[in-house]
Amino acid sequence: MMEEEILPKSDTLSALVTEDLELLGLEELEERISVIKTEIERVKAILESKKGSRADVGALFKA
């Protein structure tokens, strides 16, 4: 099993959006869409959690 290269955040996103998609086959493109959709949902969940935490902290200091 090959180890994935761990890139800094900006390099990871840059690599994702600049990859030549013309080189990918149909199944690879469909898998990519599925993985990206799953990642979007994961990011949305974390974002909502952080928004809730921020609101909780804000309410604590306003009290």
The tally of domains found in the chain comes to: 1
Q: Are 32 and 24 in contact (CB under 8 A)?
A: yes
Q: Can you give the residue range of the structural domain that contains 34? A: 26-62
- Give just the sign of the alpha carbon dihedral 39, 41, 42, 47: positive
Please indicate, yes or no, if residue 7 is contained in any of the structural domains.
Answer: no
The residue type of 49 is S
Please indicate, yes or no, if residue 14 is contained in any of the structural domains.
Answer: no
Please indicate, yes or no, if residue 49 is contained in any of the structural domains.
Answer: yes
Please indicate, yes or no, if residue 1 is contained in any of the structural domains.
Answer: no
pTM over 0.85: no
pLDDT of residue 11: 86
Please indicate, yes or no, if residue 54 is contained in any of the structural domains.
Answer: yes
Task: Read off the pLDDT of residues 26-50 as tens digits, 9 standing for 90 and up.
Answer: 999 999 999 999 999 999 999 999 9
